[in-house]
Amino acid sequence: MEVITLRHPGLTTALSILVILGFAAVLIFRIWKMRKGIDEKEQARLKGTATMWIAETLPGYKRKRATYIILNVIGFAGLIMSLLSCSYLMGRPSYNKEITTGVQRRDIYLCLDVSYSLYQLNYDFVDRLEEVVKGLEGDRVGISIFNTTTVQYMPMTDDMEFTADKLEKLKKYFILQKQYVELYEDMDSYDLMNMSEEEMKQYDNLKNQLNAYEAGTILNNYYKGSSLIGEGLASCLYNFPSLGDSERTRVIIMVTDNAQSNLMPPTVELPEACELCKKNDVTVFGIFPPESSMRFLQAGQTPEKLRSDMQKNIEKTGGAFYIAADDFDTSDIIKKIQAHEAMQVDQISMTRTLDDPRKAIILCVLGFSLFAAIKGVGA
C-alpha cells in the first residue's frame, strides 16, 4: 500500500492555519454584526408600529431562512475544503516507489547469405522480422550480408525505426533477385545478344540496380567462388563492436543453405567460424531453407548433408537450428533468443519519489464547485 507523505509539510501547515484563521475571523465578524442589530426590547416596542416581525413568524419564512442558513453553511464548507485541499497540494503529496529496470545488453546481428538461390527465404525472413524488431526495445541490431565477401549493410544500432527502414530496402534487393532469376536465369550469351533495344534497356536497368547492392558481396568471385559460409559468419562475428567486452550478450541469426560453392580453399570454414563464435561467447541461431527450394547443389552436396552439417556446428555455439517450413515463425526465434539461458540482463533497482495530487485535486474541484453552485442559486 502506498504511504502518502508531504514533501513540504511546513508550507501545508502554515497555509491551513491561515485558511482556518481567515474563516474564523469571517465567522466572528458575522456573529458580531448580527448581535449589533435591534435587541429584543426594541423589537417589542416596534411591534405595534411595524409589520416585519409578522413575516418572521410565518412558517414559510422560517423554512426559507433555515434553508438559506444550511446552504450557506454547506457552501462555505465546500470553500474551506477547496482551500485546504489547495494548501495540501502546495505541500506536494507524494509516495516512494521502488522501480526495478532491466538494462538490455544484447547485440543481435543478422547474417544473410545473399546468393540468388536464397532470395525467397531471405525475403520471407526479412519481411517477418521487420515487425519483430520494433519490439526489441533496449537491444541493438546490425545486418551483415555476404556471398563471396561480406558487407556490413547496417552497423549496430538501437534505432529500430532505422532498422525497419533498412530491412524494407533489403526486401527490394531480394525482389530484384527474384526478377532476375525469373527473367534471365536460363538465358545464355546468345539470347542476350538477340535482345531488342527495349529488352536490353530493361536488362541493363535491372543489373544496375542489383550491382548497387552487390558491389561488395561478389568481389573476386570469379576465382574465389560464391556462398563462402564460414567466411561470411566469421566476418559478421568481427563486425561486433568491442568484441572483448564481456558485459554484452551477442547473438547472430544466420540465414543460409550452407551450399558453399568455393573455387579455392576458403580462409575460414563453417566449423572454424562456429568455434570462433563459441570462443567469443557469441551464440548463433541458424535458419535453413526447406528442401523443396534448394537448387544448384554441387556434386556431393545433398539437402540432408548440408542441413546436418550446419545444425551440428550451429548448436556448438549454444544456439538453435531452424528449418524455414511453411509454419516457420520468426517471432519464435526472437522469443527463444530473449529467453535463452545465456542471455544476461542487469537488474537495477532504485527508489523514486512520485507525486500523487489526484485526491487533493478532486477535493479541491469538488469543494469549489459546491460553493459556486450554492452561490449560483442565490444562497
Q: Which fold has domain 105-344?
A: Rossmann fold (3.40.50)
Cα separation, 189 vs 249, whole angstroms: 50
Provide the pLDDT for residue 288.
92
pLDDT at 174: 92
pLDDT of residue 135: 64
C-beta of residue 164 within 8 angstroms of C-beta of residue 130: yes
Q: Break the chain into its structural domains and give their ranges.
A: 5-98+356-376, 105-344
pLDDT score, position 148: 93
Contacts (Cβ under 8 Å, ≥6 apart) of 267: 230, 231, 234
* β 150-157/282-288 pair status: unpaired
The pLDDT of residue 43: 57
- Please give the chain's pLDDT, 379 residues, in tens: 668 888 888 888 888 888 888 888 887 887 777 665 555 565 555 555 555 556 666 777 778 777 877 888 888 888 888 888 888 888 888 888 776 555 556 888 999 999 888 888 888 888 888 777 766 666 889 999 999 999 999 999 988 889 989 999 999 999 999 999 888 888 887 788 888 889 899 999 999 999 988 888 988 888 999 999 999 999 999 999 888 776 778 899 999 999 999 999 999 999 999 999 999 989 999 999 888 777 777 778 899 999 999 999 999 999 889 888 766 677 777 777 666 544 444 555 567 787 888 888 888 888 888 888 887 776 6
- Count how many Cα atoms sit within 13 Å of the Cα of residue 375 in the half-sphere of its side chain: 11
Name the one residue in this structure whose C-alpha cell is 558491389.
215
Residue 283, C-beta contacts closer than 8 angstroms, at least 6 positions apart: 249, 250, 251, 252, 277, 317, 318, 319, 337, 340, 342
Q: What pLDDT is recorded for position 83? A: 86
The separation between CA 235 and the C-alpha centre of its own chain, rounded to angstroms, equals: 30
291 Cβ contact partners less than 8 Å away, ≥ 6 residues apart:
303
- Which contacts (CB < 8 Å, 24+ apart) does range 188-194 have? none
Separation CA 233–CA 222 (nearest Å) = 21
Closest CA to 250 of 337, 330, 311: 337
* pLDDT at residue 342 in the model: 42
State the virtual CA torsion across 158, 164, 166, 168 in degrees, nearest 10.
170
Structure pTM? 0.62
Instruction: Please give the pLDDT value at position 48.
Output: 52
